[in-house]
Amino acid sequence: MIDENKQTHNAIIHMTSDEQACYATLCETNTQWAKAFEQYLMQGRDLVTARLIASIYRENLVEGYTHSHFIDHIQVPTSPIQHVDVLTIHFKQTSQVLCAPVKGHHAFNRIDVAGPFYWQQADHYERVMHPNDVLDVIIAEDNNYQGSAAEQFRDDLNNSACYMALAVSYQQMTYHNSTDTLLTTIEHQNDSYLASEQAVVEGHPLHPGAKLRKGMSPTETIAYSSEYGHAIPLRFVLIRRDHVRTQQLDKSFDTILFETFEGLQDACQTVLNTYQLAPADYHLMVVHPWQYTHILTTDYEAELAQQIMIPVDYTYDYYAGLSFRTLMPSFPDVSPHIKLSTNVHITGEIRTLSEQTTHNGPLITQILQDITAKDTWFAHVPTHAVAELAGVHFFSPTDTADVQERRSEQLGTLLRHNIYHNLDETDLPLIPSSLIVRMPQQGTSLIVELVNRYAQQQPEIEQHTAIQQWFSRYAGALIDYVMPLLIKYGIALEAHLQNTIAVFDKQDGLLKRMYIRDFEGLRIDTAQLNQMGYDTVHFHEKSRVLTNSQKSVFNKAFYATVQNHLGELVVALSDHYKIDGLEADLWYIVREQIQALFNTFRNSDMDPQRLQDIETIFFNPVIDYKCVTTMRLLDEAHAYTYIKVDNPLATNK
């Protein structure tokens, strides 16, 4: 191991155990990549540290916002940071001062920072070597964070920084000689949508656990993560029908699989004949190969021994999306996308698949399809929900309650419609997470490339206007679908960057259509949906999606759609174009589009008090913002923590 002699600003880099394991694996398999991993190790760490520092400021974690200042470090003779705008956070209990160069200030108290970062003591500056150096100070500042959740978060940051470096080094190594832009690279692929998912190598733009892969070895991370582009062999098992629960939209789960995967039905018949068992007594399930290897033979050993569960000698290659546990074929294969369970800790939680997800998906699909078919408002909205076709999860009738839930969530499968069925050769489908991504040697993100393509097609209008027109089309498609579902029906879709598919016109770069997917994290105001004529009695008895809290429903829609989705695009556009007032102009477009909805619904037969309540929240001077880092430190995966921040949609702006 040669980690002892690598230095940065006179500071020695000591590899963590995760980094050592990763480096050792690369040395055995790809020495070029091993060198790149060393080279970009600090960049990977800094990217995670940046997310953590931004969270301290935005969430006012340990009063980091309250005790912060912005200083022109060019005017500080001893500073190694030659930067005009530097955030300094003063930690009162430990007397530490953290210095972070600022890339931009944005709505919702959003601040973007970029490494290297430094600790300052008088005229002395010491490089921040790892995100856990910052976490140590957070914990020392407030003893409320001195617990098991914080220690787990420490492990998470170790793991996340390691795999961020792995992803960044792979991208740099792969594309360092490429002169193609990201848009050109994606358009040259047979499957532009899959390519766009694989392009998001840095993961969640705000979460410190963006590249977390706890539970997997470096070899498995490379094999199964989307950015490395490897084919993943789906595994299949037969489970006795008294040990599964299923749900479907139209066709049954097994029918869809047998129609999709050639030879699968014959493979099932062969294994059943071996044991002299009847096909009618068994049900199929798809299993992620990681889950198949690590979980099936340990947690379901008894079921395997008794032929309650029978592996099928059949595999089929799919590819991981950004969501990791959602896998898809490569076009021109238009088979369903498949969401699977994996006992791997990713971002903020272990990504198993809840019973409610496989059960409720087809039911929610049916409701959304009925609403958009009958409600004339949606007739001209170019946005649709991606149908969840069928789901299944393991269910042992003899398990105790706590064991039953764990084992059910470890084995589940959800089939989702493939939107390539709805596209033609003029369409360019992209995951919006990729819009804020660029190639390593390029300074232009994908969203800017699309806007510039549109501007080139409209030479008679100025750039500022072209940006606004492009953004207005995009924002309108999202708002006109998500907000009426919230306002009229009490359905808050989780329409963030990762849960959306944006389809652009290849020629002019403008949005044509939008698809919103994944109903696991949405929220439904049960009383409002029931009042609109939709029954929820058939939803899963453990459904977290159903709630009587209007606030949680409003927060879900606003955070995912406005703060996360549109907010990230506003940041990317305003950061690049540097046009005075551009960010305010883009938020004005969002405000006007949402306000227009309220004006329309005010003239309908909707409850005026409900309209007033929602409008007051949406346009209030301050708004709730989800505290992703505070939630991790307090171990609140589902009980969300919020802080009040300035609202760019406020009507007094």
Residue 609 has pLDDT above 60, yes or no: yes
Cβ neighbour number for residue 545 with a 10 Å cutoff: 24
Q: Is the Cβ–Cβ distance between 166 and 44 less than 8 Å?
A: yes
Domain boundary among 124, 155, 177: 177
Q: Which amino acid is at 149?
A: A
pLDDT band with cut points at 50, 70 and 90 for residue 637: low
The pLDDT value recorded for residue 345 is: 67
Q: Is residue 640 one of the residues assigned to a domain?
A: no
Q: Is the peptide bond before 77 cis (omega within 30 degrees of 0)?
A: no
The pLDDT value recorded for residue 50 is: 95
The pLDDT value recorded for residue 5 is: 31
Q: How many residues does the chain have?
A: 653
User: Model confidence over 572-603: pLDDT tens digits?
Assistant: 999 999 999 999 999 999 999 999 999 998 88
Q: Is residue 205 one of the residues assigned to a domain?
A: no
Please tell me the distance from the alpha carbon of residue 358 to that of residue 355, in angstroms, as a whole number. Answer: 6
* Position with higher pLDDT, 443 vs 510: 510
Q: Is residue 182 one of the residues assigned to a domain?
A: no
The alpha carbons of the chain give a radius of gyration, in whole angstroms, of 25
Residue 57 has pLDDT above 70, yes or no: yes
pLDDT band with cut points at 50, 70 and 90 for residue 184: very high
User: Model confidence over 410-432: pLDDT tens digits?
Assistant: 999 999 999 999 999 999 999 99
Q: Is residue 36 one of the residues assigned to a domain?
A: yes
Please tell me the distance from the alpha carbon of residue 209 to that of residue 539, in angstroms, as a whole number. Answer: 32
Q: Is residue 195 one of the residues assigned to a domain?
A: no
| Residues 480 and 511 placed together within one structural domain of the fold | yes
CA torsion, ordered 365, 370, 375, 376, to nearest 10 deg: 90
The pLDDT value recorded for residue 507 is: 95
| Residues 444 and 394 placed together within one structural domain of the fold | no
User: Model confidence over 314-324: pLDDT tens digits?
Assistant: 999 999 998 88
Residue 215 has pLDDT above 90, yes or no: no
The pLDDT value recorded for residue 605 is: 78
Please tell me the distance from the alpha carbon of residue 114 to that of residue 51, in angstroms, as a whole number. Answer: 9
The pLDDT value recorded for residue 207 is: 76
Residue 7 has pLDDT above 60, yes or no: no
The pLDDT value recorded for residue 390 is: 97
| Residues 271 and 346 placed together within one structural domain of the fold | yes
| Residues 298 and 321 placed together within one structural domain of the fold | yes
Residue 83 has pLDDT above 90, yes or no: no
Q: Which domain holds residue 332?
A: 222-419
Residue 3 has pLDDT above 50, yes or no: no
| Residues 158 and 268 placed together within one structural domain of the fold | no
Domain boundary among 177, 192, 209: 177
Q: Is residue 192 one of the residues assigned to a domain?
A: no
Please tell me the distance from the alpha carbon of residue 614 to that of residue 484, in angstroms, as a whole number. Answer: 11
**Average pLDDT for the chain:** 91
| Residues 405 and 499 placed together within one structural domain of the fold | no
The pLDDT value recorded for residue 628 is: 80
The pLDDT value recorded for residue 8 is: 45
Q: Which helix (H) or strand (E) holds 314?
A: strand 309-320
Arithmetic mean of pLDDT, 132-145: 91
| Residues 235 and 165 placed together within one structural domain of the fold | no
Residue 347 has pLDDT above 90, yes or no: no
| Residues 575 and 549 placed together within one structural domain of the fold | yes
Domain CATH code at residue 527: 1.10.510.40
Q: Is residue 451 one of the residues assigned to a domain?
A: yes
| Residues 430 and 415 placed together within one structural domain of the fold | no
Pull the structure tokens for residue 557.
Answer: 């829609």
Among 200-214, 260-274, 617-631, name the most confident range.
260-274
User: Model confidence over 453-503: pLDDT tens digits?
Assistant: 999 999 999 999 999 999 999 999 999 999 999 999 999 999 999 999 999
Total domain count, the chain = 3
User: Model confidence over 366-414: pLDDT tens digits?
Assistant: 999 999 999 999 999 999 999 999 999 999 999 998 899 889 999 999 9
Residue 529 has pLDDT above 70, yes or no: yes
CA 514 to chain centre: 17
**Whole-Å CA distances, 29 to 20, 214, 515, 587, 614:** 14, 21, 39, 48, 56
Please tell me the distance from the alpha carbon of residue 287 to that of residue 629, in angstroms, as a whole number. Answer: 31
| Residues 398 and 453 placed together within one structural domain of the fold | no
pTM: 0.93
Arithmetic mean of pLDDT, 38-56: 95
* Position with higher pLDDT, 242 vs 178: 242
Please tell me the distance from the alpha carbon of residue 594 to that of residue 481, in angstroms, as a whole number. Answer: 11
